[in-house]
Structure 1
Amino acid sequence: AVRRLAQRLAAVAGRRLDDARPWADARLPDGTRLHAVLPPVAVGCACLSLRVVRPRAFTLDELVAAGTVPPGGDRILRALLEARLSFLVSGGTGSGKTTLLSALLGLAGPDERLVLAEDSAELRPDHPHVVRLETRPANQEGAGLVTLEDLVRQALRMRPDRLVVGEVRGSEVVHLLAALNTGHDGSGTVHANAAADVPARLEALGTAAGLDRLALHSQVAAALSVVLHLARDRSGRRRIAEVHVLERDPSGLVRTVPALRWGPEAFIPERGWERLRGLLRNPYADVGL
């Protein structure tokens, strides 16, 4: 029964799911994310996962109420968008990266054009001027493949005020960094266990795509300013665990510096706070710290 259901849903999404291709990753017409794996790859029985996308993005106020953002932290995040800093949202699977990024993009000025490039269209910012681009797999003849790297290239031709990559996980990192170094603001998400791990993660992606290590670190240093890291506490609640700024060490490599960490009453300042405050260029960015 699960196998038949998975195959029907895959067919609705226009994807093949059979013994020759025993897995499918697709988006259903209502936006639900589908992932299915058939035996013998899935041992014992077919495995079907459905990820229902919220019809509208959470607002920043709702994230404060839910405990994802500490009291007063919303003012820092608003200042981050107003200063038009390029940033990444990092975290593990299911930590709320897409949810937070959607909420933040909704804070962009109404006259700004947001161009989103995603493997699966999950970002739903509440914003009047959004262009959404989505990758496409090859057909049964092996033609028609559209990669995230292709989408980033096309996005640059659309005169974006903000270029957003839903998840940075491949060679598209090279084109994203190049875009952010040519006057475009941007953001995205990346899988990492901690904010301090983000430079190494970007290095691994960039060098796999053929970019020299020092060249990549130079581009990262010039392109990105802030990392917002999400984590789950022991109760399963998602929250912004830390905010880091980027700097270069004496060898020229990029490292992160803790600026803020989670606190139940407000963000707690760390040694990089003064630098972050300077980047925000906002007189009210003290937020009582």
Structure 2
Amino acid sequence: MLPPVAVGCACLSLRVVRPRAFTLGELVAAGTVPPGGERVLRALLDARLSFLVSGGTGSGKTTLLSALLGLVGPDERIVLAEDSAELRPDHPHVVRLETRPANQEGAGLVTLEDLVRQALRMRPDRLVVGEVRGPEVVHLLAALNTGHEGGCGTVHANAAADVPARLEALGTAAGLDRAALHSQVAAALSVVLHLVRDRTGRRRIAEVHVLERESSGLVRTVPALRWGTEAFVRERGWERLRGLLRSGGSEGGPGAAAMKGASDDGSG
């Protein structure tokens, strides 16, 4: 017989936000990003590709996203929409929006869906949703399909390959049918960065996937890179990822230079 579990006491759960975001170099030193992997991540931002950071609870999604947003050009406006303000990008031009619960009279409610809709009126160069978990997915995908390049966010998923199914579930709950949702995803998103937290507590980018639309119209992810102790290991989707990164940046620009460095030293 199992021992009884105390249920009559108070429990407090505290989530302490780090006052300063980690730099990409610090994440490489900590083992979250493999050696040379920072070139691929910089190229991803320079190419203004839209992406999602996926993973389980506590896998480091917010930490990685904060570090990446700090690399965005200082002349770009980043608009953050979050349930609780946790993203702390080291960037001079950030507009931070946070949801608000209703008061005792049921008035004053501000949802994440409201924030995403209002953020589009603030001329964002980068629209960021702290965590996609509900109907706001519809507005986010719509925004990324109307000229808002470089948007990003986080989503809970067991693996990068599960992200389309996760988005489908959220979109269906918001009233978007399956075909329309996959059409929006195919046009809006390019890359998924998936994080895991191993048994030792170390957080790392386990895999990088690109999105591909099948003949059926449904979207699937294709592995492009996976974790390696010395560098990212290339998978079958690498050529597609490299093409996206190069086409997004100008010839000879920072994105192209980053990709050349990654190719020269074999990382990525």
Is this a same-fold pair by TM over 0.5?
yes
1:236 deviates by 1.4
Contact 1:38 1:45 in 2 (8 A): no
2:161 counterpart of 1:196 = yes
Q: Give 1 or 2: higher strand fraction.
A: 1
Question: Gaps spanning 5+ residues in structure 2: where?
Answer: 247-264
Secondary structure (helix, strand or coil) at the match of 2:165 reads helix
Contact 2:50 2:190 in 1 (8 A): yes
Deviations 1:123-170 (A, max 9, x none): 010011000000000000110000000000110000000000000000
Q: Which residue of structure 1 lines up, in the alignment, with residue 47 of structure 2?
A: 83
1:249 deviates by 1.1
C-alpha change, 1:196 and 1:110, in structure 2 (3 Å) is same
- The whole-number CA distance in structure 2 between the counterparts of 1:38 and 1:121 is 40
Instruction: Give the TM-score taking structure 1 as reference length.
Output: 0.83
Equivalent pairs counted in the alignment come to 249
- The whole-number CA distance in structure 1 between the counterparts of 2:208 and 2:94 is 27
1:235 deviates by 1.2
Contact 2:45 2:150 in 1 (8 A): no
1:43 deviates by 1.9
Q: Give 1 or 2: higher helix fraction.
A: 2
- The whole-number CA distance in structure 2 between the counterparts of 1:70 and 1:225 is 21
- 2:179 corresponds, among 209, 214, 226, to 214
| RMSD of equivalent CA atoms | 2.9
RCO higher in structure (CA 8 A, sep ≥6): 2
Contact 1:39 1:46 in 2 (8 A): no
Contact 1:75 1:287 in 2 (8 A): no
Contact 1:177 1:223 in 2 (8 A): yes
1:212 deviates by 1.2
C-alpha change, 1:143 and 1:253, in structure 2 (3 Å) is same
- The whole-number CA distance in structure 1 between the counterparts of 2:163 and 2:34 is 23
1:91 deviates by 0.2
- The whole-number CA distance in structure 2 between the counterparts of 1:175 and 1:40 is 46
C-alpha change, 1:42 and 1:279, in structure 2 (3 Å) is farther
Structure 1 outlier segments of 4+, above 3 Å = 37-42, 286-289
Secondary structure (helix, strand or coil) at the match of 2:184 reads helix
Quick one: percent identity of the two aligned structures? 92
1:96 deviates by 0.2
- The whole-number CA distance in structure 1 between the counterparts of 2:127 and 2:117 is 11
C-alpha change, 1:205 and 1:38, in structure 2 (3 Å) is farther
C-alpha change, 1:163 and 1:287, in structure 2 (3 Å) is farther
Question: Gaps spanning 5+ residues in structure 1: where?
Answer: 1-36
Q: Which residue of structure 1 lines up, in the alignment, with residue 255 of structure 2?
A: none
Secondary structure (helix, strand or coil) at the match of 2:222 reads strand
Which is higher, the Rg of structure 1 or of structure 2? Answer: 1
Secondary structure (helix, strand or coil) at the match of 2:150 reads strand
